[in-house]
Structure 1
Amino acid sequence: MVNHGPRRGKRVALTFDADMTDAMIVRLRRGEVSSYANLSMLDLLEKRKIPATFFVTGQWAEQYPQVTRRLAANPRFELANHSYEHAAFTADCYGLPRLPAGRMTGDVARTFRVLEPFGGRQTRYFRFPGLCHDKAALRALAPLGVTVVDGDVVSGDPFARSAAPVVQAVLSTVRPGSIVIMHVTEANAQYTDEALPLILAGLQRRGLEPVTLSELLGEQPG
């Protein structure tokens, strides 16, 4: 399990989770929310040529195939696995419905199958929904040969009511080798695009360089 990269040097990894639950799909279909894909944030990353790693749920990729193709087509981006339906792999995980133990392996394998046709820089990195996992969940994923990635800088962007606490959460804890966790799910993390330019400016002031997770860890995506 990986929480951060090498502390030597000046590299950090910006990672963005693309959550999608059954309940989120229902809200989309009812018109209660407009989008769970923050295109303004993607525009900024592309314009500034910032590398990033996206932990994508299978259901998000199916809901937003054009955006997923856009991520896969960018050589500065890489794709990772965030489960299929963003269910909890343990009890008491932010109110998420719990995934039965017998379905854990299949859920993650299904997401790899969903992502494979999109091509691009794909990895065997996996992040548990809500970062919730235990020994049983880790054992269930062992046959898939994944590297479980948490992170040492949690932005808190899904719970923020303005950009300021997101910027503060990142810049107050980031250091060389950090893995920063943010979200691309616009309606559930509506200030990430506003916070991101300030975060990038803060990293630049400290001489910290954003890279993909693979680059931070010295590995090559598949």
Structure 2
Amino acid sequence: MPGATPTGTRAPVVNNGPRTGNKVALTFDADMTDAMLASLRAGRVKSYANLRILDLLEREQVPATFFLTGKWVRRYPDVTRRIADNPRFELANHTYGHAAFTTDCYDLPALPVDELARDVAKTFEVIKPYGGRQTRYFRFPGLCHDAAALEALAPLGVTVVDGDVVSGDPFATAWKPLVRAVLDHVRPGSVVIMHVTEANAAMTDEALPHILAGLRKRGLVPAPLSEVLGEA
């Protein structure tokens, strides 16, 4: 697999697909922590589901892959169903509650190593009833992983997807830097990381039309992650 790390007994890690052709993958993380749920309940934020992103992708018939946390799926079952019902969208795993899988990953609370596989397996079970184009792709919160985490997930048969183009959309206050971050680094086979969590990635829907226009100018075509990685 292009861009993958040799593994042995570790889950494989991939950053990108083949650098030939013209396909790129747009991926959207759907984070959800207990603190985020508390903010929703207290009315401090309105939503962590950016429906304007879905509206645009559907209207322009753009494929995308969504890395879902189990708690986000439970909070937004109707949105999850909408994603699953779109044949251009793929569903992937982003842990159950967006806890860290290493001991030093930004300010995220860390799970013990012996709970990592259980957390990921639980998330697959939460996503499974929605059907659609489900995958065994997995993304670590904060992209933080080490040998112990990769070894823990190996029995689950997942492929860890980091990505090679980071939009920087969490907590962004302007959309233009996101567009530059993507278009300055995107190449054939790229995996672009964005977020669908409206309240803490408020500029993504404003940046996305400009990103799509920039991809078109470069002759790059969004495709499901499985196709970009050459596995479809």
Q: Report the TM-score when normalising by structure 1.
A: 0.98
The residue number in structure 2 matching 1:63 is 75
Q: In the alignment, which of 157, 161, 185 is matched to residue 173 of structure 1?
A: 185
1: CA distance between counterparts of 2:215 and 2:85? 26
The residue number in structure 2 matching 1:92 is 104
Q: Report the Cα offset of residue 160 of structure 1.
A: 1.4
Q: In the alignment, which of 117, 123, 126 is matched to residue 105 of structure 1?
A: 117
Cα deviations by residue, 1:21-40 (Å, 9 ceiling, x for unpaired): 01100000000000000001
2: CA distance between counterparts of 1:200 and 1:49? 11
2: CA distance between counterparts of 1:91 and 1:32? 29
Does residue 35 of structure 1 match 2:47? yes
The residue number in structure 1 matching 2:135 is 123
Q: Report the Cα offset of residue 119 of structure 1.
A: 0.3
The residue number in structure 2 matching 1:72 is 84
The residue number in structure 1 matching 2:208 is 196
Cα deviations by residue, 1:26-72 (Å, 9 ceiling, x for unpaired): 00000000000000111000000000000000000000000000000
Q: What percent of counterpart residues are identical?
A: 72
- Number of paired residues? 220
1: CA distance between counterparts of 2:106 and 2:216? 33
Q: In the alignment, which of 145, 158, 166 is matched to residue 154 of structure 1?
A: 166
Cα deviations by residue, 1:112-155 (Å, 9 ceiling, x for unpaired): 00000000000000000010000000011011000000000000
The residue number in structure 1 matching 2:5 is none
2: CA distance between counterparts of 1:107 and 1:22? 15
1: CA distance between counterparts of 2:149 and 2:40? 30
5+ residue gaps, structure 2, are 1-12
Equivalent residue letter for 1:214? S
The list of structure 1 runs, each at least 4 consecutive aligned residues, that deviate by more than 3 angstroms after superposition, is none
Equivalent residue letter for 2:144? C
Q: Secondary structure, in 3 states, of the residue corresponding to 1:20? A: coil
The residue number in structure 2 matching 1:215 is 227
Does residue 135 of structure 1 match 2:183? no
The Cα RMSD (Å) is 0.6
Q: Secondary structure, in 3 states, of the residue corresponding to 1:4? A: coil
Equivalent residue letter for 1:191? M
8 Å CA contact retained: 2:18, 2:230: no
2: CA distance between counterparts of 1:161 and 1:168? 14
8 Å CA contact retained: 2:18, 2:188: yes
5+ residue gaps, structure 1, are none
Q: Report the Cα offset of residue 218 of structure 1.
A: 2.0
Q: Secondary structure, in 3 states, of the residue corresponding to 2:135? A: strand
The residue number in structure 2 matching 1:24 is 36
The residue number in structure 1 matching 2:156 is 144
2: CA distance between counterparts of 1:89 and 1:72? 27
